[in-house]
Amino acid sequence: MNQALAVALTAPPYAVLTYALPPGFAPGELPVGLCLLVPMGKTIRAGVVWEAGVAPPEGVALRPALFPLERRPACDAGYLDLVRNLASRHLSPPGRILGALLPRGMRTAQVEFVLAEAGLEKRLTAKGLSRLDPEALAGLATAWRDGRLRCRLAGEAADPLCRLAADPPWPVRPGAARQRTLLDTLCDAGPMPLSELKKRLGDGTVPILRRLVALGLVRLDAGEAAGEGEGAAALAPETTGRGLAALPPVTDEQRAALESLLPVLDAPDGAARLVFGVTGSGKTRLYMELAAAALARGRRVLLLAPEVALAARLHRAAEQAFPGRPVLLYHGYQPPPVREAAFRRAAGPDAPLLVCGTRSALLLPLRDIGLIVLDEEHDGAFKQEDRLPYQAKEVAFFRARQSGALLVLGSATPDVKTFQAAREGHVPMVRLAHRVGAGGMPTVELVDMRAAPKLTAVPAAGESGDRTGVLTDLAAAALAEVVARGEQAMILLNRRGYAPLLFCLDCETPVRCPHCELSLTYHKDRERLVCHYCGHARAHPSPCPACGGTRFLPMGVGAEMLEEQLGGILPAGAAVARLDRDIARRPERAEAILADFAAGRAQVLVGTQMLSKGHHFPEVTLVVAADADLGRALPDYRASERTFQLLTQLSGRAGRGGRPGRVLIQTRTPQDPFFRHVVTGDFEGFFEQELSRRRRLCYPPFTRLGLARLSFPRDFEAGFAAATAVGQAMRQAAAPLQVRVLGPAPAPLALVAGRRRLHCLLKAEDWPSLRRVFAAGRQALPAPDKVRLTLDLDPVDML
């Protein structure tokens, strides 16, 4: 009989193996998609039923699977189709994809089974379960069915979640190095279970943690309680919401857009539409009307944003629009218990459910999706580069076709490829050309940084000489005027930290990362020098690692320094807030800063590119781009597109209330034709210029692009020879497929985290040809234990 199970292992070796049914379970009880434990050699592995009811190989005695990890599969057949799609894209086994997608509790053998018998609890580990005879296992199967046996992560109840309770600078003694290390670890990595923290920091972690808890710098949450509490809060319906009917009526332009979009919700094979609307044109209101229609059809809705703060804003808007309905918030900064609870909630019964989140929410096991929205679809944050590289738009297209859903891509500055697809009719376009309400589009002015005098920053303690600030006198005067009038302003400086370079005045060299040979960024509030690529950090002040000197000069201006400098520019009593990735590591802190600014408790908001996206502050009448040239010279074919999008989106933050808005863009190249399009907000003019350049240089959308990344330890002498062999194999495979292979050549960031990095750029007419060329290079790879080779399709990060 066909009673065997094909199981995809979610840990190395990620193989798909065949097993007999575990004792006590009948055919059909372990369906496709169910997570379970299986033996492999002398170890226990977790896996997912990839196929049920398969015929066992002839003449082979199969080992039985051990035990299920869940009663009802969170992953149905449709979700496994998504896994197959991702596996084929990345030339990876399905188990590796599942290992990246599933929560830890569904892909680990580090679990314990708790049996309630006569008021007592008996615990069994996976290893202990494997030692039981078939009769005992069959008895446990009965207890599993009637609910007396449950499964949880080993030590879950006693493993509290550690999280920061305060922002830097932290009031700890200069010599308390281990306290500072623990605080830095939580600041960089986010909340983590105590067991993981002890694994990272070693013996003695608990006493240090107790001290920091007593100081109010760290908070401990009980594992299960934290997960259930936050998950419940995220799912709780908002009882104070007034519903869509209480909002201002839709405009004629919005109504026309809805009349073209609503019928597409019923397209049996799914459909995609681009909503091309200027900033402030009411795209969010459009999303809510579409969500209401999808929920009314009994279907599920995904509203995605590129940043956690924007996802939280969508979540609040959805709670207000749909009081009494379950609204789920999901993003990668949530603690693991919360994400696992959300994953299982998404896989629950097919009742209408609205999910707001970042790109990872797209990988939840939702069934019967009716609407998927990618707001700010142009944003690079929709592409994941690490672990499992994927482009959220591609996954969204797949899921929309799979579920028969409407995919809405919304932006005031669409991705060039998306806009080209719309122009060619592949993704029909809906336009919103006017702002909603009294606010008009702001006036945009260029400020020549070469000619205009710039403010001189006061040197910090221990420094000598003046430092030139980044704001011109014109911009500083405009800021002071706006604050004096009781209005608000936003300043963009797309550079984290206090200063991007710390220069040693004794040996006349910058302080560099020992693992990357890149300059360390000075973060004054943390008193640290940090590498933004590998995470290496060292205390400051401390002697120069090259010469032992102690005289340093911060060079360049970061957002943190600009925040400090504004104290000498603005009227007395004016409050300044800052928002960047360092602060956004604690999402609750980022949301508090935005809430304070919205309430008028801060007059000026300084930050990096996070400022430009989707925020609505009616009192903001002035926006300043402190250095508009940052990013334009990067070795990336998208550099101009990203800068145009950033500046246009930033400009859209001004004048959204009743008062006129003003935008000052500081640049060293005001004569560049690029800025003509920025000043006029002419996206289509920029698009034509950019399209012409890409056609000439053979870049997307006129070709398919892949980036093969090679890396090896810096002291591995055979690494360059291995890269040469890979390149030759790729070129040989590329010739008959008409694929262009450029490289391998040193990456722009040639050494990161102690590994040499080389890039090989592949250009082809189709994706399968790219994959075949890459596969040839991977087969020719010598020393695979030393040399890593990965393929990034349609790369966003070219560094």
Sort 429 into a burial class: Cβ within 10 Å, 0-12 / 13-18 / 19+: middle
d(CA 666, CA 208): 47
What phi and psi, each to the nearest 5 degrees, are found at residue 504? -80, 120
Confidence of residue 581 (pLDDT cuts 50, 70, 90): confident
DSSP type of residue 544: -
Amino acid letter, residue 137: L
Buried b (16+ CB within 10 A) or exposed e, 490-500: bbbbbbbbbbb
Structure tokens at 694: 């890409």
Confidence of residue 248 (pLDDT cuts 50, 70, 90): confident
pLDDT of residue 1: 57
How far apart are the two ends of the chain, measured CA to CA in Å? 54
Structure tokens at 709: 């990344």
What is the mean predicted confidence (pLDDT) over 360-380?
95
In the chain, DSSP finds a helix count (H) and a strand count (E) of: 23, 38
* Residue 648 · residue 412 · CB < 8 Å: yes
Q: Which of 98-112, 189-203, 591-605, 733-747 has the lowest mean pLDDT?
A: 189-203
User: Percentage of the chain with pLDDT > 70?
Assistant: 94
Please state, rounded to an integer, the average pLDDT across all residues of the chain: 88
Q: Is the pLDDT of residue 234 over 60?
A: no
d(CA 684, CA 416): 10
What is the mean predicted confidence (pLDDT) over 37-49?
94
Q: Is the pLDDT of residue 465 over 80?
A: no
Question: Does residue 538 come out as left (phi exceeding 0), alpha (psi in the -120 to 50 range) or beta?
Answer: beta
CB neighbours of 639 closer than 8 A, spacing ≥ 6?
Answer: 631, 632, 633
What is the mean predicted confidence (pLDDT) over 294-316?
93
d(CA 565, CA 494): 16
Residue at token pair 């002291």: 715
* Residue 482 · residue 442 · CB < 8 Å: no
Question: Does residue 462 come out as left (phi exceeding 0), alpha (psi in the -120 to 50 range) or beta?
Answer: left
Quick one: CA dihedral 730, 735, 738, 742, positive or negative? Answer: positive
Confidence of residue 177 (pLDDT cuts 50, 70, 90): confident
pLDDT per residue over 431-460, tens digit each?
999 988 766 889 999 999 887 766 655 444
Confidence of residue 517 (pLDDT cuts 50, 70, 90): confident
DSSP secondary structure of 649-682: HHHTTSS-SSS--EEEEEES-TTSHHHHHHHHT-
Identify which of 321, 320, 322, 340 has the alpha carbon closest to the alpha carbon of residue 330: 340
What is the mean predicted confidence (pLDDT) over 297-315?
92
Identify which of 711, 747, 708 has the alpha carbon closest to the alpha carbon of residue 730: 708
Cβ neighbours around 659 below 10 Å, total: 17
pLDDT per residue over 506-516, tens digit each?
999 999 999 99
DSSP type of residue 180: H
Structure tokens at 270: 């799914």
Q: Is the pLDDT of residue 228 over 60?
A: no
Cβ neighbours around 668 below 10 Å, total: 12
d(CA 391, CA 536): 28
Integer CA distances (angstroms), 566 to 228, 494, 573, 609, in order? 43, 16, 12, 19
d(CA 379, CA 359): 11
Confidence of residue 123 (pLDDT cuts 50, 70, 90): confident
Torsion of CA 456, 458, 463, 465, to 10 degrees: 40
What is the mean predicted confidence (pLDDT) over 740-763?
94
What phi and psi, each to the nearest 5 degrees, are found at residue 389? -65, 130
CB neighbours of 471 closer than 8 A, spacing ≥ 6?
Answer: 454, 455, 479, 491, 562, 565, 569, 624, 626, 666
pLDDT of residue 15: 94
User: Percentage of the chain with pLDDT > 90?
Assistant: 62
3-state helix/strand/coil string of 319-384: HHHCCCCCEEEECCCCCHHHHHHHHHHHCCCCCCCEEEECHHHHHCCCCCEEEEEEECCCCHHHEE
Identify which of 790, 781, 784, 716 has the alpha carbon closest to the alpha carbon of residue 747: 790
pLDDT of residue 338: 85
pLDDT top residue among 568 and 273? 273
d(CA 222, CA 38): 30
Identify which of 505, 503, 531, 506 has the alpha carbon closest to the alpha carbon of residue 516: 531
Q: Is the pLDDT of residue 561 over 60?
A: yes
d(CA 329, CA 345): 11
Torsion of CA 28, 34, 36, 38, to 10 degrees: 70
pLDDT per residue over 74-103, tens digit each?
999 999 999 999 999 888 899 999 999 998
Torsion of CA 241, 244, 248, 249, to 10 degrees: -170
Distance of alpha carbon 121 from the chain centroid:
41
Q: Alpha helices of 49-125 — where are they, by DSSP H?
A: 77-90, 94-101
Residues in the chain: 799
Most confident of 81-85, 215-219, 276-280: 81-85
Give the pairing type, strands 218-221 and 454-457.
unpaired
* Residue 285 · residue 249 · CB < 8 Å: no
